[in-house]
Amino acid sequence: MQANTKKEAYSWMKAIVFALVIVFICRAFIFTPVAVKGESMEPTLENKDKVVISKLSGSDRFDVIVFKEPVKDEQYIKRVIGLPGETVEMKDDVLYINGKPYEEPYLENNNITSDFTLKELTGQEKVPDGCFFVLGDNRMNSKDSRELGFISAESIIGEAKFRYYPLQEIVIPE
């Protein structure tokens, strides 16, 4: 009887260790949960929302990404606006990428983004290779590429795939 108990305990220990290894591998290389801090992505994401980010996704225009802030050891969540080689301009609350106007349906208000060009903000005409230009959805309260400059591809941790907390608001960010 005691031998069966030991075998059963050993079997459970193997299963638990295996599960922990799988969780560690998934969290380190595939996806991880992140808590939103601050109001810079409102109304899309709010302070203390929890999202799952995919570490395998590439970054494309209008994706919501998490990245390491260039100077401090903090993580920021913002929306990709400009891709490498593109021009970005904001004029009269209209976003222009490579001279083409884009609607931003994720923004709640109009008349919220000051006019700018990449040249004015960064001294460069286009987003450099290996970098992105990002903005928060709450433009009046967001520390983004207007202040931080370009975000390197190496600093991107992953793309926000879905919000899982609060439970009544589970949604895939648009």
pLDDT tens-digit map of 3-35: 788 888 888 999 999 999 988 888 777 889 999
| Residue 132, strand partner residues | 151
Q: Using 50, 70 and 90 to split pLDDT, how confident is the model at 97?
A: very high
pLDDT at 146: 95
Strands 156-165 and 64-68: antiparallel
pLDDT at 85: 97
Sequence-distant (6+) residues with CB within 8 A of 53 are: 31, 32, 33, 34, 65, 66, 157, 158, 159, 160, 161
Query: Per residue in 49-83, is it b (16+ CB within 10 Å) or e — as a string?
Result: bebbbebeeebeeebbbbbbeeeeeebbbbbbbbb
Give all strands of the β-sheet with 50-54 in edge-to-edge order. 31-35, 50-54, 156-165, 64-68, 75-82, 131-135, 151-152
Positions marked active-site = 40, 78
pTM score of the predicted model: 0.85
pLDDT at 53: 94
Q: How far apart are CA 92 and CA 110, in angstroms?
A: 9
33-169, CATH topology level: Umud Fragment, subunit A (2.10.109)
Q: Using 50, 70 and 90 to split pLDDT, how confident is the model at 110?
A: low
Q: Within 10 A of 139 (CB to CB), how many other CB atoms are there?
A: 19
